[in-house]
Chain A
């Protein structure tokens, strides 16, 4: 048993922390005010190998492990959860399935450009009427002469407004429920595809997510990703990795909030001493440090299981569930410690507080994750 990061992981952590601070932080203010994603970031990340951290070099990846990818998401999310989240979804939900089950042509056409940052991927799962209950997908793909005819609509599609292709979840046989679900690779410029504008949200400003309308979209036979009817299983696999990495993102966000609160508790003087000397404040900080540490351990453990290709359903759900709820508690307390300054917009505490909420909702709400964990316990 070994709890230490490898020398490469440590070096990577330092490099990406510095990169995030110097190159990504300058975007944060504009992203907050415009709610736009700086799409050029994908190319910059691609050049540095950040979009293919844990994929093999034959396909443009960097050949590192999944823990290293989690370190990447943690450090980026510490600076900008919006960038962290959209890049994570591009990689793990949009591109990873192409690598995992795609054929060579699909890998060359979609996966490789997604790793270099030339193409931005979106994952089309959530629909206006379908969220947690993925087996009820209403978007349909019908076999027609020479390909498939897709109809339906998607909602809250991250990277949707500016994506180049969509890894689309559609039902090829609705009667078979989850066994009738298949994945398709759809170019966003295909006739009949309409990318809706960014949907205004509470937080994660700039982490654009929109709707996608698909009206009589004709795609060739080669658009089918993997086997027909296996989409649900591919999706579950992608979701496991996504949940672990989202846990890492939540840890990054929580660390940002915690570090500010700790500094403030040392600097802010009231009643003649730093407020961190009062147990009402210091105990909060002790709990925050404790919970961040616990969440990180859970994330690393799940990442480790994933690397060993062991069963990770329960641990992935636990990692995301605990880390996302932890991030909300930490953001709440960090804001509280700052008092009026925390509530004011000039400090990012209120941003952390708003951003943290998303982590409890997407890619499996806290409630769904409890269903998964209890199911894994045999209940």
Chain B
């Protein structure tokens, strides 16, 4: 089983994010970066598949050179090697999906796993776009993945509004992962020590034959507006009037 798994570098969700003065990006200095939490779930799932069936777990990341840190962390969890597609600008979902398609064609994995969404831009489109570019089946929001004995099919339980849906996909396929799929492991000390020796290939976009043009351009970022203090009202009657005339919600 050869599994290709996403390993995106994102700002630590618990950190306080500051937008640069000119709005071009966020202030990266002093900011802690981590693997996108749902990509971690995807890595864990890939590792479990490998532990059961043998094979290889390959991580990839599209982004700046610092994303190597996150790939190393993923390798310390137990993945075998990494591919870093270097792109210094703001890669939109489409560009990332095209990069995945190119990696897929080269590596020919049995499965592509990734988080259903990353906490930075929350676009949630990469998996679907990649499947479309590759003409592969897709199953999104997986909370359970069951592979059949010969590894030709997967039954994926999806978390949908009001319940679960079970879909069957032929492999290779693209599956995006949800939080309930598993609990990612901690990197053990020996694995951290081994991670350094594992290979990370740097692949520039043009080397992959991917046109480095993003369809979505980041114009500027704005900090969230400061919340204003509330007002005290004297009576219920006043409250109703405010809701109706000032807040205009009723």
Contact = CB atoms under 8 A, between A and B. Distances in A.
B134 interface: no
A10 to B, nearest CB: 8
Interface stretch (B94-102, B184-192, B221-229): B184-192
A57 interface: yes
Contact of A62 (B72, B189, B195): B189
B196 interface: yes
A39 interface: no
A48 B186 contact: yes
Nearest to A72: B189
Interface in B152-184: none
B189 A53 contact: yes
Question: Which residue, of B72, B193, B196, has the highest number of chain A Cβ atoms within 10 A?
Answer: B193
Nearest to A6: B196
B76 A62 contact: no
Interface residues on chain B, size class: 10 to 19
A194 B193 CA distance: 41
A7 B190 CA distance: 14
B186 A11 contact: no
B9 to A, nearest CB: 13
Contacts of B73: 11, 14-15
Nearest to A51: B189
B195 A15 contact: no
A48 B76 contact: no
A8 B196 contact: yes
A255 to B, nearest CB: 15
Interface in B46-72: 69, 72
Contacts of A57: 190
A48 B72 contact: no
Interface in B184-208: 186-193, 195-196
A150 B113 CA distance: 61
A49 B195 contact: no
A220 interface: no
Given A14-B73, A15-B76, A8 B190 contact: no
Given A7-B72, A11-B73, A14-B73, A48 B195 contact: no
A238 B191 CA distance: 27
Contact of A48 (B69, B188, B193, B196): B188
A66 interface: no
A23 B185 CA distance: 12
Interface residues on chain A, size class: 20 to 34
Question: Which residue, of A11, A53, A68, has the highest number of chain B Cβ atoms within 10 A?
Answer: A11
B189 A68 contact: yes
Nearest to A15: B187
Nearest to B196: A8
B192 A12 contact: yes
B248 to A, nearest CB: 33
A8 B192 contact: yes
A50 B190 CA distance: 9
A19 B192 contact: no
A47 B188 CA distance: 8
A64 B186 contact: no
A15 B192 CA distance: 9
Question: Which residue, of A57, A62, A64, has the highest number of chain B Cβ atoms within 10 A?
Answer: A62
Given A11-B73, A14-B73, A15-B76, A63 B186 contact: no
A11 B76 contact: yes
A19 B186 contact: yes
Contacts of A68: 189
A68 to B, nearest CB: 7
B75 to A, nearest CB: 10
A18 interface: yes
Contacts of A63: 190, 193
Given A19-B186, A47-B188, A64 B193 contact: yes
A68 B195 CA distance: 15
A50 B195 contact: no
Nearest to A12: B192
A18 B35 CA distance: 13
B190 A11 contact: no
Contacts of A62: 188-190, 193
A8 B187 contact: no
A49 B76 contact: no
B189 A11 contact: no
B56 to A, nearest CB: 22
B61 to A, nearest CB: 16
Nearest to A49: B189
Interface string A30-60: 0000000000000000011110110001000
Interface string B207-220: 00000000000000
Interface of B: 69, 72-73, 76, 186-193, 195-196
Nearest 7 CB-CB pairings of A with B: A49-B189, A62-B189, A48-B188, A49-B188, A15-B187, A62-B190, A19-B186
29 contacts: A7-B72, A8-B193, A8-B195, A8-B196, A11-B69, A11-B73, A11-B76, A11-B187, A11-B192, A14-B73, A15-B187, A18-B186, A48-B186, A48-B188, A48-B189, A49-B188, A49-B189, A49-B190, A50-B189, A52-B189, A53-B189, A62-B188, A62-B190, A62-B193, A63-B190, A63-B193, A64-B192, A64-B193, A68-B189
Given A18-B186, A64-B193, 14 more contacts: A8-B192, A8-B193, A8-B196, A11-B73, A11-B76, A11-B187, A12-B189, A12-B192, A47-B188, A48-B186, A49-B190, A50-B189, A62-B193, A63-B193
